[in-house]
Amino acid sequence: MISEVLYDSIVVAGHLEDFKWPKGANNKEVSREIRVPTGEYTILKADESQPVMMTEKEPMRDDGYDLESSLKINFGSILNSKEQTEIANMRMKSDEAIKAKEMAEKMAALMQKDKERRVMKYKTETITETFDDNPRFDSAMRMATPAPPAHFLRVFGQPARTGLGEFRDNASSLRQQLLMLNGRITNEASRVGTLEPIHRILKKDPDLAIDWAYQEILTRYPTDREKSDARSIVKNSEEGMADLRWALLNSNEFRFLP
């Protein structure tokens, strides 16, 4: 499957196109540390400035051009007087611009060191936030193309904007396998929400719930052996049904459905 089809197949099979839980059923608390200003300031004094030594101007060679001492080229015999004057003027202008820039940077650094800075004091506090973990996933057809680099669609082969029309590599990678095994979308599709039809069926008829799961994910009924194995996994529990659905979503049969 291409990434968009695989993504939408998981969304539909796991009933993720709508909310699976009532509001407030999956409240979770997350703690994090933040820096909070105390309202007090402290004065930071700059370090003592070190005297800046002026570099000695390098002597100009007689031929009007600074070269490494190991090179012995007599430009006087190569260039005429007019060309020598032009080169010397260009070199002098370049040297003056460099020296002026260096002096400006040194003066700015000295002035910055002389200033005292008022810095706000901060303290670290731990805050706890509560959020409703009730995800809802849209179809890949409603998403902007291309998706962000770390998104499910990009991991499973959606190219960048510069190559949207190019052939996609359908070979499985380790990152794709890990995303199917541990990714959020697979985990949410496996969980049995209280607003899902299979939740009501599971309490009344576990065998019918197993048939329902196979039809939703693999579009077929389970064989006798598969149903026997599924009974030992489900055991009339929501956690067991979540494990069964997770296994079906990670099967090769699901990945290669037409």
Q: What pLDDT sits at residue 198?
A: 92
Residue 156: exposure state from Cβ atoms within 10 A (0-12, 13-18, ≥19): buried
Question: How far is residue 110's CA from residue 50's CA, in Å, rounded to a whole number?
Answer: 9
Is 257's pLDDT higher than 90? no
Yes or no: say if 25 and 130 are a contact pair by the CB < 8 Å rule: no
Per the model's pLDDT, the better-predicted residue between 92 and 25 turns out to be 25
Alpha carbon distances (Å) from 209 to 202, 216, 221, 239: 5, 10, 11, 13
Q: What is the pLDDT of residues 63-75, one digit of tens each?
A: 444 444 444 455 5
What is the rounded distance in angstroms from the CA atom of residue 203 to the CA atom of residue 238?
9
The arithmetic mean of pLDDT across residues 45-61, rounded, is 49
Q: What is the pLDDT of residues 119-153, one digit of tens each?
A: 888 889 999 988 888 888 888 888 888 888 888 88
CA-to-CA distance for 129 and 165, rounded, in angstroms? 43
Cβ(229)–Cβ(201) below 8 Å? no
Beta strands in the chain (DSSP E): 27-44, 117-132
At 67 the pLDDT is 40
Q: What is the CA radius of gyration of the chain?
A: 35
Nearest-angstrom CA–CA distance, 10 and 189: 7
Residue 115 has pLDDT above 70, yes or no: no
How much of the chain exceeds pLDDT 90, in percent?
26
Mean pLDDT computed over 36-59:
61
What CA–CA distance (Å, rounded) separates 254 from 115? Answer: 67
Q: How do residues 62-109 score in pLDDT, each as one tens digit?
A: 444 444 444 445 555 555 655 666 666 666 666 777 788 888 888 777
Q: What is the pLDDT at residue 54? A: 46
User: Looking at residue 143, what DSSP letter applies?
Assistant: S
Please give the share of the chain, as a percent, with pLDDT higher than 70: 72
Q: Is 37 helix (H, G, I), strand (E, B) or coil?
A: strand
Place of tokens 């579009």: 219
pLDDT at 178: 87
Amino acid at 166: E
CB contact at 8 A, 68 and 159: no
Quote the CA–CA distance of 218 and 245 in Å, as a whole number. Answer: 10
Q: Which residue has the higher pLDDT, 73 or 50?
A: 73
Give tens-digit pLDDT for 147-187: 888 888 888 887 776 666 566 666 678 888 888 898 889 99
Give residue 206's pLDDT: 92
Residue with the bigger pLDDT between 170 and 9: it is 9
